[in-house]
Amino acid sequence: MSAAALETFLARLYTDADLRARFDVDPEGEARGAGLSPAESAALAACDRIGLQMAADSFSRKRAQHRRPGLPFYRRIVNRLLRR
């Protein structure tokens, strides 16, 4: 399997709470279901689950901070560029 597939699955794990819950119950099955190899699935099954959850929570807070209600997407980008 390609590195891109592994990265895509990891990104989904960080952002999808339902997938993380299913992964906690059957990590290798979820990874294999996403098309990862048996070796990749086994490696993911051995990952630090607490660290995974902490990272997911951190990413969620960061995404929430960047979303301001009522401010269009293009305006947020312009504001970021002007701050540099």
Domain that holds residue 78: 3-83
Number of domains in the chain: 1
pLDDT of residue 67: 66
Average pLDDT rounded to a whole number, residues 41-53:
93
49, 65, 72, 73, 77 from 68: Cα distances, Å: 30, 7, 8, 9, 12
Q: 35 — alpha (psi -120 to 50), left (phi > 0) or beta?
A: left
Asked if 31 and 40 touch (Cβ cutoff 8 Å), the reply is: yes
Higher pLDDT: 18 or 73? It is 18
In tens, the pLDDT along 2-42 reads 788 899 999 999 999 999 999 999 999 999 999 999 999 99
**What's the one-letter identity of residue 82?**
L
| pLDDT, position 71 | 60
For residue 16, the model assigns a pLDDT of 94
In angstroms and rounded to an integer, the radius of gyration of the C-alpha atoms of the chain is 16
Confidence of residue 47 (pLDDT cuts 50, 70, 90): very high
